[in-house]
Structure 1
């Protein structure tokens, strides 16, 4: 899946564009992820981003003294922090080397390409979540839509078992690849705030 490396930078650019439009008042908006408002989703991204980066660099994961819910990472200079984190993820996963061989995400060993697809999915799916929550539109390239559909389908059952994805949402027969990918992850493509 090293060809997916080329999808990372454009997806990150779209994602960052959505982030830049979130004002202080938007932080309490609900998102399509039922357990997260915008602030909690940003906290989630800031919490797990260093783990993904470490997996891409094939280095030890960060040591966390608190869990995600207690981390409080989406306060203060959250936009600068997430922009820098996104740039580091692009730096790592925008090259084919990060997609090759095996790596560890925490204690779990897995193919590096799976972690790369997770990063792409973070930008695309959570970018969509944040866009929907704030009344904006995320532009997903056709190649990125096909890539996240393939990876979401491949990981679907395991991700649902681990409560990473919700129950699959049925989509219309004429749904686009991205709408089908949203459905696989448990998101309703027609979600409104």
Structure 2
């Protein structure tokens, strides 16, 4: 599967997870330590904007571009749609510069797919919805997580891995999330 197809499937999943988000839900806690749903959506919007910048401009600045967060629900949907358009229309450059360091577009798109899919799951969980990451998508993202998340990322960015409840849960478990939402 191409990295753009993987990113597209992750974005489609995350957009589906937004259906349960209402303005009243924005203060709910999420599986992301210290973040409520509003903060998680703002982070997701920033991530989507950075991924779009990678596709449009071939680079990502370490200082994120200014993004409108007034309505984080609408902003997430809008940035997700624009991201998909940018990646499908990109010019085929093999690398993206991130803070001046070259990274293959394949890695950038796969890392973005991981970020978007897992935070989509976080959004659904915060809204009290059971919306598992599709098994095929989770299976494709698991090696990306193994490549990108190490012990050095714990406990600051990710909780310690947990035992997966089912084989389908191994991606979430590796990232310190339990399918039931507890850490």
Q: What TM-score bracket applies, with the shorter chain setting the length? A: 0.7 to 0.9
Distance 1:158 1:51, change over 3 A: farther
What's the counterpart of residue 31 of structure 1?
30
Matched, 1:166 2:159: yes
SS at match of 1:164: coil
Out of 91, 99, 107, which is 1:114 matched to?
Answer: 107
What is the rounded CA distance, in whole Å, between the counterparts of 1:115 and 1:65 in structure 2? 16
Matched, 1:190 2:180: yes
What's the counterpart of residue 84 of structure 1?
78
| Stretch moving more, 81-90 or 12-21 | 12-21
| Stretch moving more, 26-35 or 182-191 | 182-191
Shift of 1:145: 1.0
What is the rounded CA distance, in whole Å, between the counterparts of 2:156 and 2:135 in structure 1? 27
What's the counterpart of residue 13 of structure 1?
12
Mapping of residues 29-178 of structure 1, within 5 Å: 29-61=28-60, 64=63, 73-75=68-70, 77-94=71-88, 101-157=94-150, 160=153, 163-172=156-165, 175-177=166-168
What is the rounded CA distance, in whole Å, between the counterparts of 2:111 and 2:64 in structure 1? 24
Q: How many residues align?
A: 183
CA RMSD of the aligned region, Å? Answer: 3.0
What is the rounded CA distance, in whole Å, between the counterparts of 1:65 and 1:122 in structure 2? 16
Q: Which runs of 5+ in 2 are unaligned?
A: none
Distance 1:28 1:72, change over 3 A: farther
TM-score, scaled relative to structure 2: 0.82
Distance 1:189 1:95, change over 3 A: farther
